[in-house]
Amino acid sequence: MTSEPKGRFAAYRKTLAAISARTKTPLPSLILSFGILHELTAVVPLVGVFYGARALGVGERVVSAIIEDEQNSNSQAGGSALEYEKDGFSWARRKMKSWVEEGDRWSIRIGRRYGVFGYEKRPPGTVDDVEEMAGASGHIAGDVANAVFAYGVTKALLPLRIGASVYFSPMFSRTIIEPIRRTIIQPFRRKL
C-alpha cells in the first residue's frame, strides 16, 4: 500500500515533487528561484519601460489616449453601457483603463514615499489620501504618465514573466541558489 498525501494541496505537492525530480533541483531552491526571477522580471521591465517612455515621450501620449478614449466612449454611448459593450474591444479597453487607474494609485504611493515622479516626499508618519489625489484632474502628466505606462506594460507582460520565471528557475537554482546555499551551509556541517 502506498500512502498518498491527503489534503487540499496534495496534487500540487505531487506535481512539484515531480518537477523537482525531473530538473534535479531541490524544491525549496526551485521555489526561491522562481520568486527571485518573478520579481526580477517585474522590476527590469518596469524600470526599462519607464526610462524608454521618458526618452521617447510615449507614456503621456498613451495614457492620455486611454483616458480620452474612455471619455469619448462614454459620451458616444450616451451613458448606455449596453451599446459600449457591443464593441469587441470593450474588455481590452476596460482592462487598460483599470491598469491606468491602478498605475496612477501606485505612482502616487511610490512617488510620495520616495519623492519621485514629481511628487514631494511625504514626512514620516503622515498618511496620504491616495483616492483624493488620484481624483485630481490633469495630474497624470510627465513622469507620472511614464510610470503609469510602465506599470501597465509590466502588468500586460505577466504571462510572459511567469513563463520565463518557470522556464529559467531550474537553471537559476543550479547555477546561483544552490552554490550560495552550499557555501552558507558548509561551515555548519559536521566533519567526520
Quote the pLDDT of residue 188: 84
Q: Do the Cβ atoms of 79 and 110 come closer than 8 Å?
A: no
Quote the pLDDT of residue 72: 65
- pLDDT tens profile 129-166: 666 666 665 666 788 888 889 999 999 999 999 999 99
As to burial, measured by CB atoms within 10 angstroms (0-12 exposed, 13-18 middle, 19+ buried), residue 163 is: exposed
- pLDDT tens profile 77-105: 554 444 445 555 677 778 888 888 888 88
- pLDDT tens profile 39-83: 999 999 999 999 999 999 888 888 888 877 766 665 555 544 444
Quote the pLDDT of residue 1: 46
Q: What average pLDDT score do residues 14-32 get? A: 88
Q: What average pLDDT score do residues 123-132 get? A: 72
Closest by CA position to 34, among listed 182, 174, 173:
173
- Where are the alpha helices (H) located in the chain, listed in sequence order? 10-23, 27-56, 58-76, 81-85, 90-114, 130-135, 143-156, 158-172, 178-185
